[in-house]
Structure 1
């Protein structure tokens, strides 16, 4: 009995020769769901929101699970909440300077939000003192400083201190020259502090009063015993303007990078970034990710691991592999670790160190053809989903599938693809003026990594834990939209394409029949069979009945391609109809 049987279906392994693949592995796998052993098409992503503007979004996010935000450029965002906060306050880097937004500032769904600068600056001008009447007892030397405070109670570092002046207990002291606060930071009050010397002899700044931000004068006559709490914001600088790549750490603090430095915020005070909480690395930082309680800093050469429960007490260790991150937009944090594209492939940093997860799947040259520097990505349900701009060189046999926009077409340039129309598999040029590109899915959830490709492009991704969902920014005939990659329940499926390995017989053989065991509820299926590189059969199927192959030839090399919307359970080729049922 002569038979080729494919009972399981898996992804592609480009670095392995077509004839050396395992039975279930493919030479082409596009838009395929390969999670169960069966071959099924991915769903058409569900359009859930139209985005503002006609430009490709660089970033999208769902703010507090309620409001969609988008930006025309690449930004990073991290929750900037404090205990009890329910406003969805979020820190954003990658704009002109670090900014903060929340639900009250979000504006229209799908648009860039209004925001304000993150952090509170120190007043530049020292207060001026003028002693007044009254007071009795022993004179004491005093000085004053003041801080700016936002409408959320966020306090910045103090002003330069005033000149030291002698003051009697209960004497009036006029404090004036308090400068007006800068715009754009939501500053609503000023807090005034005065030096006091308690019994331990250590001088402290103690709270005197809080006044409205526009007031430049205060008359103080308080006794030392009436002063309030000590100044706690002495080291609380705003984040540097060049901060990038903000991420949230588990213990309530944020991390970001500028140049070759890692910066941290005060725990639960996302507006305060002390200078003492900075780490200097050997080379420029290109991206940050988090797994567990560990911060991963990808750099221009070696990745660095940073761990610690408080930013004042963290430790660093450098991994031995020189694997720089080439696209921060494709750096993704997950329960497995932090994944990012490097020149050699996709690199994973986890609890066991670092490893190249694509090493057994593709060569460096094949990976570079995907232009990893253009990638954006996210991890969802153990799958690394990435998109890349159209490669300059294309080793992936895309002629089988072409390239298309997500959910429809836009007027403009054309791309070439195969489309199943009823009973015909048509070749057509699809008009498309969105940035062309494709994508891939790397399933890391099983014992073996499975790679498949996507023949459409998205410009940004957002994983939303509160909904256990992965969202994409993609184009259709109406413009740019947010799509749910899971699709609609009962919705349509994408056209998938799966091409088998090259099956090589010991001697030329004659195969007479083929049967595709499939579920055709979602749509039809096209099948093409090659023998010794020559196409011998091309049919459209609507059921699982066997087909006869043309007779009168023998071949050593056999290959089969299926495309369409049906779910395939098994493929059999045999030398007779009877053997198909054996």
Structure 2
């Protein structure tokens, strides 16, 4: 009779150590799962502290790491041929901000060195509108027979002076309104200001005979008036309503003037007005203006698919205008009944995790997004408790770790841990990350980190010595970095080439109907030594008898046991390894012939 330990699965703490299915362990710390052997993770390596002792979030920009003292989510703007490498970020207690490559990495850190408001302020209404006769429009009698089609007044306009004053019935009268927007020093457009009161203009043939003088308010301090690095300045873009072919009034372009210019006189003929604005309803992302956004600022921003920016606050899911990362039109809003906890991309879809029911949002353009409410009411417990692995979204709830794949939802932890034990881990504080198709669940309240295998639902739960304040998934390399809770350094997980974590593994307790005695053992591994512990519970006294040996070779060795027992177990104890340890199996036997 023998026991062969060669599955090396994770733990399933909902079962006691005797009821565990074969292959599962009572302890599996710092162990990998995919190859069916017992092997450790490589040690993490430090990427640096980056000049901040209170770091909670990080984002890799070009050459430097951005750091923040609060939970912050950052993405690179999905712009084609982006010469300035815009990156935007959001957090629950701050205004959304943006950076670009001309100064974000200046100096010695911490970075970003310079940030700017993501939003372009909406202009106030035009201060005043005054009408009068256009300066070039006046009646001057001409000599009989003299042609007046030339530039008679030297203003560069042909044919302004009629031979005689037109009758009133010959004029075209129109009622118009004016608006304007800011074009900041980066070329970003604001929404249009509220329209002016109705203004009546008079036109004759191809001439506007009315001069309308507009006075603009002083631009707000939040407007980016000048960018000395690019040598650009903000402008005011003026629009006037005109009658479209459909019979409705539309805004059309009048002129563009420097933002520092506070007046402009318009004498443009209606037929000479140019394009309509594309930004009429563009507004910024939710910010700290509680009158506009009572549910708070944008808390998180992600890229859905390849080029759709999505953010959320407590109740609103908002989408940026394509190719305009600073514009978040209200018409794209999705408002939810429940509070939004977090959002996570899932392939080309987006999963919205709330305090009630999850939603899956699908679409190819912000205007066509559709939100499907899933049938199972599973609330998300933690704003940092979500991650995406292999196209599926994993998230924490009070009842376990759940997976959403397509439109199906499943509890992936319930087979291994009961609800009470899960709640003791404090799901409201859990932090999720992913690496190598594994889901990492950091539980700061109890100072544990759990690992679930996303590709093997039967792999069980493993633990790992990882004290993360937050996780950072590196898109280019698919590596996992994390901010260490103690040192605040950024650590790259599983990255050392010559150092490995000290693994710990303990088998289930094997219960026999009749007492047996195992006095021979063998460990097959790629390198030695391996520290092995074999123990049994004495059949009469119940005392645990333990033997620990530093195994130096694949040869079998004798166990100093002479008593039979019903309960047997074994373990691999932590030991510092110069080379990566790979334990293929552990065997307990009664004779050498039983060994393989």
Query: Is TM (by shorter chain) over 0.5?
Result: yes
1:232 aligns with 2:278: yes
SS of 2:331's partner is: helix
Partner of 1:336: 391
1:59 aligns with 2:57: yes
- Structure 2 residue runs of 5 or longer lacking an equivalent are 138-159, 161-170, 226-233, 288-296, 538-542
Partner of 2:89: 92
1:183 aligns with 2:189: no
Quick check: 1:536–1:549 contact (8 Å CA) kept in 2?
no
SS of 2:488's partner is: strand
1:114 aligns with 2:114: yes
How many residue pairs match? The answer is: 528
SS of 2:547's partner is: strand
Cα offset, 1:558, TM superposition: 0.8
Partner of 1:409: none
SS of 1:579's partner is: helix
Cα offset, 1:68, TM superposition: 1.1
Larger radius of gyration: 2
SS of 2:420's partner is: helix
Q: Name the TM-score, length of structure 1 as normaliser.
A: 0.85
Would you tell me which structure has more strand in proportion to its own residues? Answer: 1
Partner of 2:264: 218
1:461 aligns with 2:464: no
Quick check: 1:334–1:379 contact (8 Å CA) kept in 2?
yes
Cα offset, 1:573, TM superposition: 0.9
Partner of 1:149: 183
SS of 1:540's partner is: strand
Partner of 1:288: 343
Cα offset, 1:243, TM superposition: 1.9
Aligned equivalents of 2:594, 2:499: Cα separation in 1: 31
Cα offset, 1:449, TM superposition: 4.1
Quick check: 1:28–1:499 contact (8 Å CA) kept in 2?
yes
Quick check: 2:362–2:370 contact (8 Å CA) kept in 1?
yes
Q: How does 1:410-559 map to 2 (within 5 A)?
A: 437-446=447-456, 448-474=458-484, 479-488=487-496, 490-520=497-527, 524-532=529-537, 534-559=544-569
SS of 1:119's partner is: coil
Q: How does 1:375-386 map to 2 (within 5 A)?
A: 375-386=430-441
Structure-2 change in CA distance of 1:81 and 1:219 (3 Å):
farther
Partner of 1:359: 414
SS of 1:538's partner is: strand
Aligned equivalents of 1:494, 1:474: Cα separation in 2: 16
SS of 2:489's partner is: strand
Partner of 2:151: none
Aligned equivalents of 2:460, 2:222: Cα separation in 1: 49
Structure-2 change in CA distance of 1:112 and 1:363 (3 Å):
farther
Partner of 1:208: 254
Partner of 1:102: 100
Structure-2 change in CA distance of 1:289 and 1:142 (3 Å):
same
Aligned equivalents of 1:127, 1:310: Cα separation in 2: 37
Aligned equivalents of 1:102, 1:567: Cα separation in 2: 47
Partner of 1:79: 76
Moved over 4 A (4+): none
Aligned equivalents of 1:356, 1:134: Cα separation in 2: 78
Structure-2 change in CA distance of 1:262 and 1:20 (3 Å):
same
Cα offset, 1:167, TM superposition: 4.3
Aligned equivalents of 1:558, 1:113: Cα separation in 2: 61
SS of 1:8's partner is: coil
Quick check: 1:146–1:192 contact (8 Å CA) kept in 2?
yes
Aligned equivalents of 1:458, 1:103: Cα separation in 2: 29
| TM-align CA RMSD | 2.3
Cα offset, 1:461, TM superposition: 0.7
Quick check: 2:52–2:67 contact (8 Å CA) kept in 1?
no
Q: How does 1:190-205 map to 2 (within 5 A)?
A: 190-205=236-251
1:270 aligns with 2:330: no
